[in-house]
Every structure is written in structure tokens, then in C-alpha cells.
């Protein structure tokens, strides 16, 4: 016979990996009901609604009940604790904590890089993240630009938005569900400059990689600082990057700078997925004719040097710039980015 005690006994075996305690002890199991046909239902109240481990905890709870004799159906409604309850849970401490990153399952890591600054790496990274999410992909963005982080601003994520504990970080989550880790989310005041030397920057990137709880991701996009700095090197050496996308603009060709970036990527044996030419032209709103404001394209030369294709040429779009500036990148639509996403989905 099913009983409340037997059901709770089974659910008590389910451990919240972040807190290291049973979900029953944590008061996460609520509104428990069951009937004589063996149908069990309850609400699973998590500490935060966007908990990257929510699927794992729910699956563990379901598995624990399914093996219980007499259970025919399990229905779990996801809920969230109140702020008071959440504080009380964390105030109790968190014994025998596992490292959170063991719960990460990341299918593909793509780094976005350029030889030069200001060509639109961060914008392209954010637009790609948004477009991939619209295609139903689970996406995270690691802002590896430690001294000039701009990803949080594009998504209007406030400073202090990362939750950190001894076990690691929980990324901030955008309204569209993109998980974001950036140094600016750790700082109390985002206006404070991070003045660090190379080794510290590398250490921060390593920590972001090792300690973030991304959960399950289809794509992790890494926004790099410009050039071939220590940060870029750290990312390519320490993070198992699957592909690099090179961003360039027509005016940014400095053969040496570009060759340096390509040479660094090639020496580190990371495949280059292709080249994205940003701000390639401006389409006149009246006539629809393209105007090559920054001169003719050099993307072909870069692609040849990289031995990779040109994946997209993006127009100068004042509306995109305005949405990015206003922290509303999730509202942006750019056909060329959608086409780029199609290529990425087919390729990787």
C-alpha cells in the first residue's frame, strides 16, 4: 500500500546536489498527493526558478518514485521557495558539497575572436546566443573579456547577478534563458575598472571555466577580448573550445594583426569554423541599395589565410546598435544572423 511515509521515504533519498541535503529535509516537496491507483503528484519548490539543476533533481525524484511499489504515475509541478525560505535553507549551511561543475554537460564550445578591437565580437556573440536560443538550443555565454566585459550590458544584467558559493558559481540568467558568466556580474559596482595583469586574468578565466555550473548546454559561446592577449591564449589553451569564429570588418584589415590571430589559433590547433564580416555594408532604407561605407571587403583574404569559409556578412544596422546599447539584445532580429545560426546548426 502506498502511504505518505513511504513516498517521502523514497523522496528523502534524492539529494539537491548544490546543497548536499535531501529535498525532503530541505522542504522542497510540497502539496504531496496520491490516490489508490498509484498516481503521485507533488510540487518541487526549488531555491531559484532558473536552477540549472532543476531537470536533474526532478528526474532523480521521478526515478526514486517510479521504483516504489504501487506507483503508476508521477506528476511533478515545478515551484520556487519564497525569499525567506531560501535564506533559511542557505543559513543552515551546506555539508559535504560536491563541485558543481561535475553537473555540466556542454555539447559545443565556440569562441568568438578577432584580431582587432571594436569589430563587434560581443554583439555577434550576443546576437548568436539569442538566435540559437530561438531555435530551441540551450545556450550559455562566457564573457572572457575580463578588463572590458560587455555581455551583461547587452542583456541588461545587473552587477552582483552571479551567485557564488564554495562549490562554484551559478550563472546569471537572461529573461530568454541564456546563462551568462562575466566578471561584471561579480562586481558590486560595474563601473569599477578591473586592473589586473595577465596571470590574474588567466586565473579568472580558469575559475570561470572550472567553477561555473552551466548545467546542460547545447552551445557555450565564449566572447574573447580583442587580439592575441593572455586572455585569448588562456581561453584557447584551457577551455576545450571546439571551434573559433573570427569576426572582422572591412576597415579592420591590418594584415599583421589578422595573421597573428590566425597563427595563434592554428598553433593551438583549434579549428576555425569561419569568418563573420561585421558592418560589411549599409543598406539604404529608401532604395535598398547596399553602400560599402567602410570600403570593400577583406573577408576573403582573411578566410583564405584561415583556411575557412566566410560564414556571414552582417550589415551596419543602427537599430541593432540601439537595442544592444539599451540592453535589449534579446529583441533583436537580423536575418543574416538567423542564416548564420542555420549554418552552425548544420555544421556543429
Question: Contact between 145 and ligand ATP (CB under 6 A)?
Answer: yes
CB of 186 to ligand ATP, least distance (A): 18
Shortest Å distance, C-beta 225 to Mg ion = 7
Query: Which single residue is written with the C-alpha cell 577580448?
Result: 225
Give 3-state DSSP helix, strand, coil % of the chain, rounded to 5. 35, 25, 40
**59 or 322: CB nearest ligand ATP:** 322
Does residue 148 bind ligand ATP (CB under 6 A)?
yes
Q: Is 68 in the site for ligand ATP (CB under 6 A)?
A: no
Can you tell me the distance from the alpha carbon of 266 to that of 25, in angstroms, rounded to the nearest whole number?
A: 52
Q: For residue 332, state whether it binds ligand ATP (rule: CB under 6 A).
A: no
Q: Going residue by residue from 259 to 298, which x/- string records binding to ligand ATP, judged by CB under 6 A?
A: -------------------xx-------------------
At closest approach, how far in Å is the CB of 161 from Mg ion? 18
Pairwise CA distance, residues 329 & 327, whole Å: 6
- Residue 179's binding partner out of ligand ATP, Mg ion, none, with CB under 5 to 8 Å set by partner kind: none
DSSP for 163-206, please give it.
EEETTEEEPEE-TT--EEE-HHHHSSSTTS-----HHHHHHHHH
Near ligand ATP by CB under 6 A, which window of 44-52, 180-188, 236-244, 313-321? 313-321
8-state DSSP, 277: E
Out of 14, 51, 236, 314, which residue is the one contacting ligand ATP (CB under 6 A)? Answer: 314
Residue of 56, 22, 95 whose CA lies nearest to 213:
56
70 lies in the binding site for ligand ATP (CB under 6 A):
no
Distance (Å, whole) CA 332 – CA 4: 50
- The dihedrals phi and psi of 318, each to the nearest 5 degrees, come to -60, -30
Which of 217, 324 has the CB closer to ligand ATP? 324
Which of 17, 140, 152, 226 is in the footprint of ligand ATP by CB under 6 A? Answer: 226
Beta bridge partners of 22: 15
* Interface of this chain with Mg ion, residues 119 to 178, rule: CB under 5 A: 121-122, 150
Q: Which is nearer to ligand ATP, 14 or 275 (CB)?
A: 275
Contact 26, 109 (CB under 8 A): no
CB 53 within 8 A of CB 64: no
Whole-number minimum distance, CB 154 to Mg ion, in Å? 9
Cα separation, 149 vs 201, in Å, equals 12
Q: Is 67 helix (H, G, I), strand (E, B) or coil?
A: coil
How would you classify the pairing of strands 139-143 and 179-181? parallel
Question: Closest approach of Cβ 316 to ligand ATP, in Å?
Answer: 4
Query: 14, 110, 121, 281: which one contacts ligand ATP (CB under 6 A)?
Result: 121
CB of residue 189 vs Mg ion: minimum separation in angstroms? 20
CB of 230 to ligand ATP, least distance (A): 15
CA distances (Å), 176 to each of 105, 134, 140, 141, 179, in order? 20, 9, 11, 13, 9
Cα separation, 271 vs 307, in Å, equals 10
Query: Least separation, in Å, of the C-beta of 346 and Mg ion?
Result: 27
Interface positions, 81-120, toward ligand ATP (CB under 6 A): 114, 117-120
316 binds, among ligand ATP, Mg ion, none (CB under 5 to 8 A by kind): ligand ATP
Binding site for Mg ion (CB under 5 A): 121-122, 150
Positions touching ligand ATP (CB under 6 A) are 114, 117-123, 145, 148, 150, 225-226, 278-279, 314, 316-317, 320-321, 324-325
Amino acid at each position: 500500500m502506498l502511504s505518505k511515509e513511504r513516498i517521502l521515504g523514497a523522496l528523502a533519498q534524492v539529494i539537491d546536489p548544490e546543497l548536499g541535503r535531501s529535498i525532503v529535509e530541505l522542504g522542497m516537496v510540497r502539496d504531496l498527493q496520491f490516490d489508490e491507483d498509484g498516481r503521485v503528484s507533488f510540487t518541487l519548490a526549488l531555491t531559484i526558478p532558473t536552477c540549472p539543476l532543476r531537470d536533474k533533481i526532478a528526474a532523480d525524484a521521478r526515478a526514486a518514485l517510479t521504483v516504489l511499489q504501487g506507483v503508476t504515475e508521477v506528476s511533478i509541478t515545478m515551484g520556487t521557495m519564497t525569499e525567506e525560505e531560501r535564506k533559511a535553507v542557505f543559513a543552515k549551511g551546506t555539508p559535504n558539497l560536491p563541485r558543481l561543475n561535475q553537473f555540466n554537460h556542454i555539447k559545443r564550445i565556440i569562441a568568438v575572436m578577432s584580431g582587432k578591437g571594436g569589430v563587434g565580437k560581443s554583439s555577434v556573440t550576443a546576437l548568436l546566443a539569442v538566435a540559437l536560443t530561438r531555435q530551441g538550443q540551450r545556450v550559455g555565454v562566457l564573457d572572457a573579456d575580463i578588463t572590458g566585459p560587455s555581455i551583461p550590458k547587452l542583456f541588461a544584467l545587473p552587477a552582483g547577478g552571479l551567485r557564488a558559493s564554495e562549490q562554484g558559481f551559478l550563472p546569471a540568467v537572461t529573461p530568454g534563458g541564456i546563462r551568462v558568466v562575466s566578471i561584471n556580474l561579480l562586481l558590486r559596482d560595474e563601473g569599477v575598472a578591473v586592473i589586473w595583469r595577465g596571470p590574474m586574468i588567466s586565473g579568472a578565466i580558469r575559475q570561470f571555466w572550472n567553477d561555473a555550473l552551466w548545467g546542460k548546454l547545447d552551445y557555450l559561446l565564449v566572447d574573447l577580448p580583442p587580439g592575441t592577449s593572455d586572455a585569448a591564449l588562456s581561453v584557447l589553451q584551457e577551455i576545450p573550445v571546439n571551434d573559433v569564429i573570427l569576426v572582422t570588418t572591412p576597415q579592420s584589415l591590418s594584415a599583421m594583426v589578422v595573421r597573428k590571430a590566425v597563427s595563434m589559433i592554428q598553433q593551438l590547433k583549434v579549428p576555425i569554423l569561419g569568418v563573420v564580416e561585421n558592418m560589411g555594408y549599409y543598406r539604404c532604407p529608401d532604395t535598398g541599395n547596399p553602400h560599402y561605407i567602410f570600403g570593400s571587403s577583406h573577408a576573403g583574404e582573411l578566410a583564405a589565410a584561415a583556411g575557412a569559409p566566410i560564414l556571414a556578412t552582417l550589415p551596419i544596422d543602427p537599430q541593432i546598435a540601439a537595442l544592444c546599447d539599451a540592453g535589449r539584445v534579446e529583441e533583436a532580429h537580423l536575418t543574416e544572423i538567423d542564416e548564420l545560426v542555420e549554418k552552425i546548426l548544420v555544421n556543429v
